Amino acid sequence: MDYHHVYKDVEGTSTEWDDIQRRLGNLPPKPEPFKPPPFSPGEDPDLRPKSKDWIDERTAEELDALEDDPSIDDDRFLEEYRKRRLAEMRAAARVARFGSLLPISGSDFVREVSQAPAVIWVVVLLYKDGIPECELLAQCLEELASRYPATKFVKIISTDCIPKYPDCNLPTILVYNSGAVKGTYVGLHHFGARKCTTEAVALALCKSDPVLSDGHVGNSSSKNAVIEDESKRFIEKFVKEHEEDDDYYSD
């Protein structure tokens, strides 16, 4: 059995004799004590500092799970922002389902459109009775309203909304969110003119923003899902119409 032991002092310590010898130049300089490299949170994605944009990308379930995340708790602002964001998403889940194209007057505009909650997108149709293009677009929006009940669809006589608004610009769609105009579509040509379809309107509205919603919260790809669904509907309708044309001519 080996009873020999080697004892080591704390790294970096030296005797008084060694210090004297180093001053006389008889020993090399004392090496610097080892220091581990500074911790970098970027090495682990789960430990990276959180930000508002990072929180905005999370689903309601993920925000719930962040309740015990120390990197959030250490930042009072981000913790409050997380709670507010989660409350908004839950409010959106409980939001009244609209489901139809609601007529409003000029006095209703601020309450129904400008002051709508930030989580709600509002599609406004400026129209006048007796204009065929307005009637066609209104039919498309009525169908979209039933298809996407969490999006608010309203219609208002153009001059009630904007005094002296020219009829040549009708129909016009304004898209609102958080009290600001996010999109403007003047005329029917944005949706295929007289060949306007519900699917073409949906694709145009969702081209740059997640305007259309069926009420499911936390789906970060909702815009892409809408575009995919509407593209399928467009193709299916196109194929069906041409099949009916072929049947007609074959008879």
Tens digit of each residue's pLDDT (9 = 90 or more) over 193-245: 988 999 999 989 988 888 988 765 444 345 677 777 777 776 776 666 666 55
Position 98 scores a pLDDT of 87
∠ CA 93-99-103 to the nearest 5 degrees? 120
Q: What's the pLDDT tens digit per position in 233-248?
A: 767 766 666 665 555 4
Confidence at 71, pLDDT banded by 50, 70, 90: low
Tokens of 236: 């299916």
> What's the CA gap between 158 and 163, in Å, rounded?
8
pLDDT band (50, 70, 90) for residue 30? confident
For the chain, the average pLDDT equals 78
Q: What is the largest CA-CA distance in the chain?
A: 115
**Least confident window among 6-10, 100-104, 127-131, 165-169:** 6-10
Each residue of 175-192: pLDDT tens digit? 999 899 999 999 999 999
**pLDDT (0 to 100) of residue 221:** 43
Measured distance CA(6)–CA(14) in Å, rounded: 16
DSSP string, 177-235: ETTEEEEEEESGGGGTGGG--HHHHHHHHTTTS-----S-TT-TTHHHHHHHHHHHHHH
Q: How confident is the model at residue 23 (pLDDT cuts 50, 70, 90)?
A: confident
Instruction: Give the C-alpha separation, 79 to 215, whole Å.
Output: 26
Mean pLDDT, residues 24-33: 76
Q: Hey, what CATH topology would domain 101-236 get?
A: Glutaredoxin (3.40.30)
Whether the predicted pLDDT of 122 surpasses 70: yes
